[in-house]
Amino acid sequence: YERDDGKPFRQRLLVVANRLPVSAVRKGEDSWSLEISAGGLVSALLGVKEFEARWIGWAGVNVPDEIGQKALTKALAEKRCIPVFLDEEIVHQYYNGYCNNILWPLFHYLGLPQEDRLATTRSFQSQFAAYQKANQMFADVVNEHYEEGDVVWCHDYHLMFLPQCLKNHNSKMKVGWFLHTPFPSSEIHRTLPSRSELLHAVLAADLVGFHTYDYARHFVSACTRILGLEGTPEGVEDQGKLTRVAAFPIGIDSLRFIRALDLPQVQEHIKELQERFKGRKVMLGVDRLDMIKGIPQKILAFEKFLEENAYWRDKVVLLQIAVPTRTDVPEYQKLTSQVHEIVGRINGRFGTLSAVPIHHLDRSLDFQALCALYAITDVALVTSLRDGMNLVSYEFVACQDEKKGVLILSEFAGAAQSLGAGAILVNPWNITEVAAAIAKALNMPSSEREKRHRHNYHYVKTHTAQEWAEIFVSELNDTVVEAQLRTKQ
């Protein structure tokens, strides 16, 4: 392609994810205010070198009228975003239902919904139909905007059908799919009623990526054991067609965190927090309020630690930031009350008139406040029951070059494979073990903290989100070229 100024256009990258990286608020019939989320993933995906990226996804709001849809589409275009409009019923069945009540818990080893099996079986069918329909709606928007030569990168468990929908329409399209969650053991995946349809749909992609080698291996086993296909060192083969499967561990935009620490506002926050918690060690948890994050287990482990270590009772505080998420799904509502109940009980048990052991916040923090909090923390507790990667652990490490605090990390987070050597690894289900890890972290000599931190800091600084995105996209291009060469031979 040629631009007006005669320079060649860069190759276009269409990123397709359930959610656009914006929060959209309607201000009037035809006006919207947009705030773009400035996360590392967003800058990585929109900033892949040599590519001009567009992001296609749901804006997270219901816009039933045409005037509103047109105005939002126009406003989003300025941010290189293209909306997919989903009505309330689809959101209920596809997003709350099939994605977050079925696939999300299953992929994190929490199983399929147990209660009222008959009702679940019935609604399962309609939720699965809505999932397929929603995926087709995403595909329609991609097809409308696709130009020959574009690279299409589909993301996450919401869009497992998308590669198939896209290839059915245009078999020449370059399609990659990346899963941000774990892919579970094939023995877990095979319990899913639509297990084969989902695997076939993903295999339509040219390149399939996971955070870790284990997840990739589980996916290949599911294809061989459930579909009877052949697994090769490169991926999965179906009647001569190879789908490449590989691990691409994600990172963060580490410099964004490191640089933020020098900002005067962040320094100011740091001073305030240091003053506030003077004389006490700070332990920190930052999680979406999700059952996979193991928040109740973490708080119970902290209680056990206080129980067994009377010396520390008035010398340590746990700050738990629990960001509300998927609040329309009943499981998440139950979790909120459960966590509140446990925090209240422990604060009643160990609190004094002047201080409480747990500060629990049901909200998110802005970026600068978060950086300051990471920087003053002595021990971070990331105790997910399962987690695709867990970037909170990376963010904490990036902000700790001065303090060299300790990271307690679940062995069931993908990050355990990259930061395991520097962290204290724990089984989050074993509350006694986590309590012992807290004691170890608080008593760790500075020479050992320094050594552990060095390892992790180096990793987080060098394995960035930007690099992750660039490697995936270039592998996708190469995979397609290799496949073309193979068919010519």
Give min distance, CB of 158 to ligand G6P, in A.
Answer: 7
Between 266 and 389, whose beta carbon lies closer to ligand G6P? 389
Our finding on whether 368 is near ligand G6P (CB under 6 A) is no
Give min distance, CB of 428 to ligand G6P, in A.
Answer: 18
Our finding on whether 135 is near ligand G6P (CB under 6 A) is no
Between 180 and 269, whose beta carbon lies closer to ligand G6P? 180
Q: Give the per-residue contact string, 139-178, with ligand G6P (x = CB under 6 A; - = no).
A: -----------------x----------------------
Give min distance, CB of 209 to ligand G6P, in A.
Answer: 13
Between 138 and 277, whose beta carbon lies closer to ligand G6P? 138
Q: Which of 54, 174, 180, 461 binds ligand G6P (CB under 6 A)?
A: 180
Our finding on whether 326 is near ligand G6P (CB under 6 A) is yes
Our finding on whether 26 is near ligand G6P (CB under 6 A) is no
Between 175 and 250, whose beta carbon lies closer to ligand G6P? 250
Our finding on whether 23 is near ligand G6P (CB under 6 A) is no
Our finding on whether 387 is near ligand G6P (CB under 6 A) is no
Give min distance, CB of 181 to ligand G6P, in A.
Answer: 5
Our finding on whether 211 is near ligand G6P (CB under 6 A) is no
Q: Which of 10, 12, 19, 304 binds ligand G6P (CB under 6 A)?
A: 19
Selection from 181, 46, 36, 182 nearest residue 465 by Cα: 46
Our finding on whether 325 is near ligand G6P (CB under 6 A) is yes
Our finding on whether 181 is near ligand G6P (CB under 6 A) is yes
Between 41 and 342, whose beta carbon lies closer to ligand G6P? 41
Give min distance, CB of 180 to ligand G6P, in A.
Answer: 4
Between 95 and 350, whose beta carbon lies closer to ligand G6P? 95
Our finding on whether 463 is near ligand G6P (CB under 6 A) is no
Between 10 and 326, whose beta carbon lies closer to ligand G6P? 326
Which residues make up the interface to ligand G6P (CB under 6 A)? 19, 156, 180-181, 325-326
